[in-house]
Structure 1
Amino acid sequence: MQLPGPGVWGPPRDHTTALAVLRRAVELGVSHIDTSDFYGPHVANDLIKEALHPYPDHLVIATKVGVVRDEWHGFEAAAEPQRLREQVDENLLRLGRDRLDLVYLRVGGDGLLFPSEAPFAESFEALAELRQRGLIRHLGLSGVTVAQLAEARAIAPVAAVQNRLHLFDRSGADVLSACEDAGIAFTAYFPLAAGMLRPGLDLSQAPPGMAPSAAQLAVLDEIGGRYGATRIQAALAWLLGHSPVTLAIPGTSSLVHLEENMAAADLVLSDDDLAVLNKLA
């Protein structure tokens, strides 16, 4: 999501660096890239193909459908069956694949609403049909409630759910619990509170529910400092250790931030520090 231009629209500020970030990520061991054709639109997928195609066998590329961009650069629901089929075809073309590894139906019930006139079941059934045709390997849901997850699982297997979850926002805890019970991967988007954990940012400009307090950041800095780690690394380490089914997708267009993010995978926090962080939300 960070690779296209400002507002997730248009070409990247630095095309060469965008390609380098993708290639370096795979070199560092990333095996899961999250994207969508509405990032740009098309820009993120085009960059992924340019940087990484032909893809290594171990690499999973997940994409999202159910949303398109409007003329004002906004995000608009587009979950009618025919429009979903068109979006799947566009993702296949842009990514240069015969089958998509994982396709999320973006719904929006976790707080970022994309209201659609298409019934939820009808939309998911359309993707299930494309899975049966071999165009999709695994199905996922993004921005859903526990009830929607159950409804979808009655139609077809759900391999992953992508909802908002980070150190300071546990609103997705009930969905995470349902995923744990069912053995479904939970991919936490905005794991760094939409970038608001980066030092030097104006927290007053944060999206609703994203701005941590100075006191929360101080605790995070203190705990990270005990390990010679940054607050970013401490927050990611908390998320990765929060549940056996959690995945993190910290977006970045920076090689420096990529290296920092990846190093968090080696950070193991003590039980005492985890207990402190668990109380921060």
Structure 2
Amino acid sequence: MSAMGGRIRRLGLGAMRLPGMPGRIPVDRTTAVAVARRAVELGVTHIDTAAFYTRGTSRANDILRRALRPYPDGLTIATKVGPGQDVRAAVEQNLGELGLDALDLVYLQAGRPDEPLGDRFARLAALGAEGLVRGLGVSDVTRAQFDEARSVAPVAAVQNRFGVLDQSDASLVDACAEANVTYVAHTSLGGGRVRFTDGGLREVALRHGATVYQVALAWGLRRSPTLVQIPGTASLTHLEQNMAAVRLELDETDMTVLERLA
């Protein structure tokens, strides 16, 4: 499985917020289901989830299953195996919760920057050989861990933190583009912990009549041809705003301003 940019739209949906987030008002299940369905109606073909995306008894996988099963053709559902989790058990849990016979894409998350991934990634690759996993990915990895995983089996995608206000992973973004590996940027809107108040960002947003968040998403899409954005939301209004970013065309002047932000 090579880079997925040619077969999925590059603006997807992160499902982490669908069950609700700690310290926030709980998300009504009907609303969460409506967000997932509306995302697909708007053309989303890539949804990122995990069995550990939960709040209380509400689970992202259960919401997606209720909202979308039977899943439409062409929809890629990506999930992950967290640090310390048994690889097979985590894959089987996601399969059961989502109601699938095989997972489109599974990321192996690194626990530490110095953690060897080879043995765990080999176990994930073995599940691919069994037909339980179609695409293999790695998440929260360094360049060395990415290279180690690729020495074991083909890597379809990398999911790391990257955004206009945090461009520290730029070299791996470029390495993925060179290798035709999809780079899925998580927390590109800061995860609620970053204030998008930079003057340059506001300047570009005003020039295009857009929000700073739409500019941030559009920047990522322009930054690399193999980069996929997965902004998470449990709000229909924010979903509509996020999806509109795909129509925002930034020029070289805009990109020059934005590259200086991080």
Q: TM-score, normalised by structure 1?
A: 0.83
2:108 — aligned with what?
105
Shift of 1:12: 4.7
Is the partner of 1:7 in helix, strand or coil? coil
Q: How does 1:1-281 map to 2 (within 5 A)?
A: 1-7=16-22, 12-40=26-54, 43-66=59-82, 77-79=83-85, 83-109=86-112, 119-195=116-192, 206=193, 210-211=194-195, 214=197, 216=198, 218-281=199-262
Whole-Å separation in 1 of the counterparts to 2:111 and 2:191 = 16
Regions of 4+ moved over 3 Å = none
| Structure 1, 21-30 or 228-237: larger mean CA deviation | 228-237
Contact 1:12 1:18 in 2 (8 A): no
Is the partner of 2:152 in helix, strand or coil? coil
Shift of 1:122: 1.0
> What residue ranges of structure 1 are gaps of 5+ in the alignment?
67-76, 196-205
> What residue ranges of structure 2 are gaps of 5+ in the alignment?
1-15
Contact 1:107 1:142 in 2 (8 A): yes
Count residues with an aligned counterpart: 245
Whole-Å separation in 2 of the counterparts to 1:122 and 1:169 = 30
CA deviation vs aligned residue, 1:117-169 (integer Å, no higher than 9, x gap): xx521110100000000000000000011111111111111000000000011
Q: CA RMSD in A?
A: 1.9
> Structure 2 vs 1, CA of residues 267 and 169 (structure 1 numbering), >3 Å: closer, same or farther?
same
Contact 1:239 1:246 in 2 (8 A): yes
Contact 1:3 1:252 in 2 (8 A): yes
Contact 2:174 2:224 in 1 (8 A): no
Is the partner of 1:17 in helix, strand or coil? helix
Point out which structure has higher relative CO (alpha carbons under 8 A, 6+ apart): 2
Is the partner of 2:209 in helix, strand or coil? coil
Q: TM-score, normalised by structure 2?
A: 0.89
